[in-house]
Amino acid sequence: MKTILIAVVSLDGFITCGDTEGTMFASADDQDFFKKALAQFDCSIMGRVTFESAKSFILTNLTLSRKRLVLTRRPETYLKEGIAGKLEFTGLSPKKAIAQLKADGYQNCAVLGGSEIYTDMINNNLIDEFWITVESQLFGKGKPLFNGSSKIDLHLKTMERIGEDTVLLKYKPIQN
């Protein structure tokens, strides 16, 4: 199974603007790219905070063509919101969740955040590509894309201007 980390970041590398959860800072260009990109995936993984910050969008856009898996320490809290095959909540680790999705026959997984999920998956070498939109904003503080202690080398595959001030970078990890 191919796993693609998709994120929008400020120029200084933050996925949130200060303490404000979510990607409200993302440009319309990034939002258009994101919607089109998601159509390429048959499943996606995100953490609880990411789900909560995008909940209304997620719930109004559920389809059988993409399973959404939310990783949370308390999946029982979301029993009423889960819809088998569309929106599921689990206490599995990212590594076990990916293994389960692969065993279930999924082929392409979008990893949608947040920082804790990204860090765990990067540290466990579970990411095949990084699709990073860089917005022309500086926040000074916020949640970083990656909060790990290891150095990860990447190879730039493509760079595309998706808006007047917005760039999409696609990287592949270099396995050492």
pLDDT per position as a tens digit, 123-150: 999 999 999 999 999 999 999 999 977 7
Closest CA to 152 of 114, 116, 109, 121: 121
Percent pLDDT > 90 in the chain is 84
Q: Where are the domains of the chain?
A: 2-173
**Residue 117 · residue 48 · CB < 8 Å:** no
Tokens of 167: 């760039």
User: Over the range 13-27, which residues count as b (16 or more CB within 10 Å of their CB) and which as e?
Assistant: bbbbbeeebbbebbb
Cα separation, 22 vs 68, whole angstroms: 17
**What does the pLDDT read at residue 9?**
97
More confident residue, 132 or 60: 132
**What does the pLDDT read at residue 76?**
95
Among the CATH numbers 3.40.50.920, 1.10.1660.10, 3.40.430.10, 3.40.50.150, which is that of 2-173?
3.40.430.10
Per-residue pLDDT at 114 exceeds 80: yes
Per-residue pLDDT at 42 exceeds 90: yes
